[in-house]
Amino acid sequence: MDVVMDATVMMGLTIALVPVVGVLMALTPYLMKKSECFTITVPESAASDPYLKGLKRRYLALMLALTAALTAAGVALVVLDNPSGVLAVVIAGTLLTCVIGYALMLYFRKKVSTYKKQRGWRAEAQEAVAVVGERDVPRAISLKWNLLYVPVLLVTLGVGIAGYSNMPDMIPMQVGFDGEVSRWADKSLSIVFMPVLIQLFMIACFLFSHWNILRSKRLSEPGAPATSALAYGMFARAQSIYLLAMGLVICIALILMPLSFAGLVTLMQSAVVIMVVCIFIVVGGIAISVVYGQGGARLFARMGESEEILADDDEHWKFGVFYVNRDDPSLFLPARFGVGWTFNYARPAIWAIMAAGLAITIAFVVAVMSFG
């Protein structure tokens, strides 16, 4: 009975990923700056333009309808106790949501671009601003805070070593929705280090993202330089704190892995806990996004009401999301569609970073799979 209950809970939590991803995609146009609509630069006053507001509502309605349909299909499969179907809906559903969301963004982007030309919205000059007294502007927290990961790593290693003697000769490594173990590994000291290896990989990803935030271009609106700089600083600080908290919670949850190896908890129970943690983390990320908006765009409702376009860099945003500007020395900058940061793909260093990241990821996957 407990196995069946755990399996049902696990399927339900897995399906929850679909509406979470769908709602985030649906809200994205409302989280961006007033001066951007579907990645096209518009006057800040255009945020109240009926036509542009209508496009956003259509995008929202379409994405919510798609999300509702996929979620309903997933819930039906949970009721029918069809684990393979649930997994298929989650994988295909989240991928489909992202693909269709991006396709709709491109569709509405073209409409906004046409409307922009019809209205004659263009920048007469490219204005740039610098904020005086940047020391008073909030910043992302220091990288030193990542030292908090060290005790978590040590505890995970200690739990694995202490429980090694209680581990069976064959250790379960993978479990399905039905609670049946589908992959085993021989008991060895290397098993003790596997959870730590996973933690190290995740910490490296979180640390890189944190460094990304610190090194990102700090954008300021020419029409409200001080206010926008303050909003961006608060946004960056909140995101860096959230990133650290998210990494710590996930790494702490991974301590359940050596406990499951020793038989103190089941692999299914540890998977359920980790999934619950992930769901809460994603929901928390959405909440922060709604409160702050991309780059702090939602912090000050009255920030910027200019009827002119003071700076326009649409030409550097390829397909709305890929920033390519050889004249910009920045490696990282806030994304144009979505909450977070992106790369300046015109910089050779970015391609080196991406290649190194891909190599490290492949090495990590190979190392983890070798434990089986």
Does 128 map to a domain? no
Say which amino acid occupies 328: D
Per residue in 146-173, pLDDT (tens digit) is 999 999 999 999 988 888 888 888 887 7
pLDDT (0 to 100) of residue 134:
53
Fill in the DSSP letter of residue 266. -
For residue 221, CA distances in Å to 50, 322, 331 come to: 23, 21, 20
Does 271 map to a domain? yes
Does 130 map to a domain? no
Q: Is the dihedral of CA 72, 73, 78, 83 positive or negative?
A: negative
pLDDT (0 to 100) of residue 5:
47
What is the span of the domain harbouring residue 304? Answer: 2-121+137-369
- Residue 174, token pair as written in the block: 């993978």
- When divided into structural domains, the chain yields a total of 1
Per residue in 221-232, pLDDT (tens digit) is 666 677 778 888
- Judged on CB neighbours under 10 Å (0-12, 13-18, 19+), 345 is middle
pLDDT (0 to 100) of residue 261:
82
HEC per residue, 293-327: CHHHCCCCCCCCCCCCCCCCCHHHEECCCEECCCC
pTM: 0.83
Establish how many alpha carbons lie within 13 A of residue 179's alpha carbon, considering only the half-sphere containing its beta carbon.
13
- For residues 233, 238, 241, 246, the Cα torsion angle rounded to the nearest 10 degrees is -140
pLDDT (0 to 100) of residue 309:
66
Does 94 map to a domain? yes
Does 177 map to a domain? yes
* Cα 143–Cα 144–Cα 149 angle in degrees, nearest 5: 95
Q: Which residues of the chain have pLDDT under 70?
A: 1-10, 123-136, 175-182, 220-224, 301-311, 371-372
- CA dist., res. 280 & res. 294, Å (int): 20
Does 131 map to a domain? no
- CA dist., res. 9 & res. 189, Å (int): 32
pLDDT (0 to 100) of residue 56:
96
Around Cβ 237, how many Cβ atoms within 10 Å? 18
Q: Under a CB-based contact definition with an 8 Å cutoff, are residues 46 and 52 in contact? A: yes
Closest CA to 296 of 24, 34, 25, 42: 34
